[in-house]
Structure 1
Amino acid sequence: MYAKCACLPDARRLFDEMPRPTLVSWNCMVSAYGRSCLVEESVAVFNAMRRAGVSSSEGTLVGVLSGCVDSSLAINPGMCVYGYSVKSGLDADLQVLNSVLTMLVRGCYLDSARWLFDRMGNKSVVTWTALASGYLHIGDYLEAFDLFSHMRAAGQTVDSVVLVNLISAAVLFGNLSVAKGVHALVSKLGFESEQDLAASLINLYAKCGDLESAHEVFGAVQVANVVVWTSMISGYVEGGHLNEALMMFDSMVCANIEPNEATLSSVISACAKLGCANQGKKVEEQAIAIGLHSDPRVATALIDMYCKFGSIKLARNIFDSVSNRDLAVWSAIINGYACNGEGSEALVLFKEMINKGFQPDAIVFTHVLTACNYSGLVDEGLECFHSMTVEYGIEPSIEHYMCMVDLLCKAGHFRSALKFFKQMPSQVQNKVLAPIISSYSAHSADSSIELAPEELLNLDSQDSGHCVLMSNMLSCLGEWKKATSYRRQLSKEGLIKEPGWTCIELSG
């Protein structure tokens, strides 16, 4: 009783007071520690049991392995337990094997997991599902599909968990025909009305860009729960149908369905993209009313929204109210300060984040370099780029290179920008031409700059923006004929200069 209620100290006290614990008592104690992910304690009780001369059962091993399954650091003791099961003849038990298989999958030892899977005589639906989830985790949807085919051929019963995995594989594949085939199978097996599967199907169709079919699945659910509603709302947001997402949210509230963290973050994202400040404020009030305003996921969305509206103080208030900040919360506020031209404050927060033990990822560094770029912090930008590549071992992306080139060009450090540019991979150079061409126009009189205009354009002559920039640059240099030829190239090759756009909220 104490063990099931998670009162482990009380359970252990009663266990220690037993003069001769039975096998059931030992198993209860081992399993209690295992379920609580206290692997060392679980293994210690298991070893004490062996020293006491009590023979282990399959339940004992499953109890120890249950803790190893949920801890990536427990693979070694877990494999020792598996070795003991082989030695003691308990390795034929399906529960033991499934526990070992799940442990290997979650520990990302997929080759070992497949080796064990192929040698298992009996397989349950748990066996197939465990391995399939491993393939999905690394994005190998083809192996997941193949596994499902073999599972069906083996006559294994398909349940809702298997179908959710199958739908996840279809999401990764992203093919509408496959999506419809999976949907047909779900309907054929009679699972379409199950809410978890309906939510997964809605997400599948949304990822494939078929929001009409997604809404049909939504409409077929008799009583939709918050997960189903959220899937439909998120689908609209990701598909760019932002007004539909807000209307769907209003309908959800009218249906007395309380939103969760995922619902609120999607709706807040829609408000941010539409520039609906009033609607965003109302959603924040709803989040406060149900106690979710300080949830990291919701807070991240709110911070991003207010930063987009230019309300950096409101964003900072939300950030300060979150006690359990994760990397996404830090990333959002750093980006907010960066995009609002307060690069120095963004760097202060970045350093504070590092001091609190957070490991920055590529996205955080994009925001930090953006902060340096918008605020003209050249030395700080170079230092951060060096730290990213050398100290943290992050390979620069196009966004990182773009920030650095733009920063150097804006600051008038064209030679440094050019040197930086020439060291980039060729596939990246095409993406950062705009600031280089613009800066070249301003520094073209400097004879020490060894880069001809043709060299720049030859990198990517199919970009309309680059053609316009080249034409303007050549005009400044007095090369009128060449400038005209690039302008003609726009119409000749059907290149169109894409206009910019933005959203504002009218009537308040």
Structure 2
Amino acid sequence: MTSKSTAKTLVKTFLRTPHSLKTKFQAKQLLAQFLKTQPYSPSSTSILISVYSNFNLLHPSLFLFNSLNSPPLLAWKSIIKCYANSGHFLNSLTSFVQMRSFGIYPDPNMFPLVLKACVFLKNLRLGESIHGCIIRLGLDFDLFTGNALLNMYAKFQSLQPNGGRKVFAFNVFDGMPKSDELCGTSAQEKGASIIQLESMTKVLEMMPIRDVVSWNTVIAGNAQNGMYEEALRMVREMGNANMKPDSFTLSSVLPIFAEYVDAIKGKEIHGYAIRHWFDSDCYIASSLIDMYANCARIEDSCSVFNLLSKRDDISWNSIIAACVQNGVFDEGLKLFRQMLTAKVKPRDVTFSSIMPACAYLTTLHLGKQLHGYIIRGGFNDNMFIASSLVDMYAKCGNIKAARWIFDQMEHHDMVSWTAIIMGYALHGHAHDALLLFKQMEMDGFKPNYVSYIAVFTACSHAGLTDEAWRYFNSMSRNHGIKPGLEHYAAMADLLGRAGKLEEAYKFIGSMHIAPTGSIWSTLLSACRVHKNLELAEKVANEIFKVDPENVGAYVLMSNMYAAARRWKDAAKMRIFMRKKGIRKEPACSWIEVKNRVHTFISGDKSHPLYDRIFEALKDLLEQIEREGYIPDTNEDFHDVDEEQKKYMIFSHSERLALAFGIISTPAGTTIRITKNIRVCVDCHTAIKLISKVVQREIIVRDNSRFHHFKDGKCSCRDYW
């Protein structure tokens, strides 16, 4: 036998069993032998095209397809598939229409391909037309075609409610040429062919055969579009149809209970997952972690994660985000380090999850380390991560670094604009914040709900009352944004800081939504600052109506009564707090020195360097007294003598942290301190003078804003 006849036999064998070809190289060799030994017959050429389409070899497929004068169904099907799988979706649809113009009827396996193309081209109208074609050809009963239709409608998010459900009206042939390119029916028939489907659920009901994929597609589509009750109903119907939910079903349903904050129902799904061995699936575990986190059950989230034998990047990212979301920032950072130790590569979502932890804990050193990871990982061009960096640097007290990151961004979005505006607002640079807000508008960005919070914060911290009113009025008039609680709180805070207490009281009373205890507390703080005890009592009564356990209100009233020497009333407040089991949040400050965070509580003597800290404080006190410092003991509500009050102020947490920072860092180093509650008046005065005598910049972040102390002055201009 000659080599030519051997090659010919081999080609015939492969054409009879094309699935025996395992590699692209083998497929290309087959083409070479085919061109040498075989005549161009439509059937053999079509088989070869199908081989190439399976390997996504577009150019050889086109070469063979174009050699056919009248391509048969297999050739059309293969070229449509090859176009779709290669990402040439428009060509895929064009070929489908051309095939119909040749009078060739599609088989069911073609429709999932062309419906996929409609999804990627975001052309719902064409998808609806193809759906009409499927019905006209009687192929809507095919399982795979039905699943493809369900998937298409899910991807187009077609389940928005319209009186409970959206009605889809498919005028299948509206706008199509008179010659029937798709189905071969007359124009009159096409015009009459209007199919109305109430939802994807209707498509499912019309399918005589349904598999798990069919049910999952509808359940996921309903869940993703907020139709939670419908999704849960479909899960029950799925069970009634003797279909067992799989891991995809569970991962679709769990976010519903996260949205409803229903941990009990979520636990039922968790139990089902355990009984059916789905709990070791990383996707299910991640969904469970997210669900428990949203229900504020972080212990359960950690339990799910700890029981995983294998952890992928999704499960790591889920547990880190869960911890940060629930305020367990230290644990989130610890897990991030463990993730790196486990050689799991961080992704963009990892950094956007962990960055708020650095921002909250003001761990600038770790923030800089994360920034290094981001640069080395090539994520620095990611707009969302860059915005997170802006936020982190601003909240860690380095507004210059935040601005540098912002200016380096090639493009900005609302998140990045809002982050930098809020950064400047918190640092007391109101005019910079408002200039950026105007620049944002000039760049074509429409202000949103959050950006106005940043603007009002800036105005509040700088006492810009008139500007704030202009922005408040323009918010709804020019941009259609209805004021929310945060906007009202910022305006009330502004009026209170400016001493316009009665105006603030009337403003809160005129809100179109019921004021919360938090908003009234803002005014109560202003009453304390401006020593208006009469109004404070009225405001406190409003607070206790809506929030009877508001700790801050009891503490503030105790302080105000003590300052007014109304000791009996102050004692009543303390007794009432004890009876209700209400405890004041202890004042706490922390400072990062040599990559370690040191925490101080007022009056705490437990730090190993306390003796040195105490001596440093005594020395600082002597120095600032020479600068004219006189202790202000009015804010302490205890009925004790002045000397004891002086000692209590002397040992406030921010002063302990400051003294430790001074003795632990080189001269001239900027000191950054974070405090969990408002800096008191006396500490504010003392730190201003300390910044002058030690010739250092001291940045203190309290629960309201940043204070930049330098040369005896503060960036807040004593307005906080």
Distance 1:286 1:226 in 2: 16
User: How far apart, in 2, do the equivalents of 1:357 and 1:42 lie?
Assistant: 38
For 1:102, give the aligned amino acid: N
Say whether 1:76 aligns with 2:159: no
> For the Cα contact (< 8 Å) 1:69–1:99, is it kept in 2?
no
> What does 1:97-176 align with in structure 2 at a 5 Å threshold?
97-110=146-159, 111=165, 112-176=199-263
**Residue in structure 2 matched with residue 232 of structure 1 by the alignment:** 319
Do structure 1's residue 95 and structure 2's residue 144 form an aligned pair?
yes
Deviation digits for residues 103-154 of structure 1, max 9, x if unmatched? 3334333232233333333222222222222332244544433332322332
Residue type of the alignment partner of 2:138: G
CA distance, structure 1, for counterparts of residue 400 and residue 64 of structure 2: 55
Greater CA radius of gyration, 1 or 2? 2
Name the residue aligned to 2:382: 295
- Distance in 2, matches of 1:276 and 1:107, equals 43
Return the alpha-carbon distance in structure 2 between the equivalents of residues 324 and 31 of structure 1.
37
1:279 aligns to 2:366 (yes or no): yes
Distance verdict in 2 for CA 1:42–1:181, change over 3 Å: same
CA shift in 2, pair 1:31/1:357, >3 Å? farther
Query: TM-score, normalising length from structure 2?
Result: 0.59
Is 1:86 aligned to 2:131, yes or no? no
Q: How many Å apart are 1:399 and its aligned residue?
A: 0.4
Give the letter for the 1:61 counterpart.
F
Distance 2:464 2:484 in 1: 20
> For 1:199 and 1:215, how far apart are their aligned partners in 2?
11
Label 1:454 to 1:392 Cα distance change in 2 as closer, same or farther (>3 A). same
Q: CA separation of 1:359/1:102 partners in 2, compared to 1, >3 Å: closer, same or farther?
A: farther
The answer for the alignment partner of 1:53 in structure 2 is: 103
Aligned residues of 1:35 and 1:66 also touching (Cα < 8 A): no
Note the 1:429-440 alignment, pairs <5 A.
430-437=517-524
Provide the rounded CA distance (Å) in 1 between the counterparts of 2:478 and 2:82.
41
Instruction: Give the fraction of aligned pairs with identical amino acids, expressed as a percent.
Output: 32
CA displacement 1:403-432 (0-9 Å, x = unmatched): 122224434556764554343125126542
Offset of 1:505 from its aligned partner? 1.9
Q: What does residue 342 of structure 2 align with? A: 255
Alignment of 1:390-401 (within 5 A): 390-401=477-488
Cα distance change, pair 426–206 in 1 and its aligned pair in 2 (3 A): closer
Cα distance in 1 for partners of 2:105, 2:355 equals 57
272-281 or 58-67, which moves further after superposition?
Answer: 58-67
Residue 369 (structure 1) aligns with: 456
Change (3 A) 1:438 1:113: same
Counterpart contact for 2:140–2:207, Cα < 8 Å: no
Matches of 1:485 and 1:224, distance apart in 2: 55
Return the alpha-carbon distance in structure 2 between the equivalents of residues 429 and 233 of structure 1. Answer: 31
CA separation of 1:395/1:426 partners in 2, compared to 1, >3 Å: closer, same or farther? Answer: closer
Q: 2:126 is matched by which residue type in structure 1?
A: P
State yes or no: 1:199 paired with 2:286.
yes
Contact 1:3–1:29, Cα closer than 8 Å, also in 2: yes
Shift of 1:57: 3.4
Tell me which amino acid in the other structure corresponds to 1:68.
C
Q: Cα–Cα, structure 1 residues 188 and 464, in superposed 2: closer, same or farther, change >3 Å?
A: closer
TM-score (norm 1): 0.81
Aligned mates of 1:419, 1:18 — CA distance in 2: 83
- Structure 1: state its 5+ residue gaps: 446-450
Report which of the two has the higher share of strand: 2
Structure 1 residue 229 displacement after superposition: 2.3
Distance (Å, rounded) in 2 between the aligned partners of 1:429 and 1:383 = 24
Whole-angstrom distance in 1 between the partners of 2:207 and 2:423:
53
CA RMSD of aligned residues (A): 4.2
Q: Partners of 1:10 and 1:212 in 2: how far apart?
A: 57
Partner residue of 1:332? 419
Residue 542 of structure 2 is matched in structure 1 by 459
Unaligned stretches of 5+ residues in structure 2: 1-48, 160-164, 166-198, 596-720
User: Per the alignment, do residues 232 and 422 of structure 1 end up closer, same or farther by CA in structure 2, a change over 3 Å counting?
Assistant: closer
Label 1:471 to 1:189 Cα distance change in 2 as closer, same or farther (>3 A). closer
Higher helix share: 1
Equivalent residues in 2 for 1:10-21, closer than 5 Å: 19-21=69-71
State whether residues 460 and 493 of structure 2, in contact with CA within 8 Å, keep that contact through their aligned partners in structure 1: yes
**Number of residues of Structure 1 aligned to a counterpart in Structure 2:** 502
Q: Deviations over 1:428-457 (max 9, x none)?
A: 265422344566789999xxxxx9777645
| Equivalent pair of 1:27/1:63 in contact (CA under 8 Å) | no
CA shift at 1:236, angstroms? 2.9
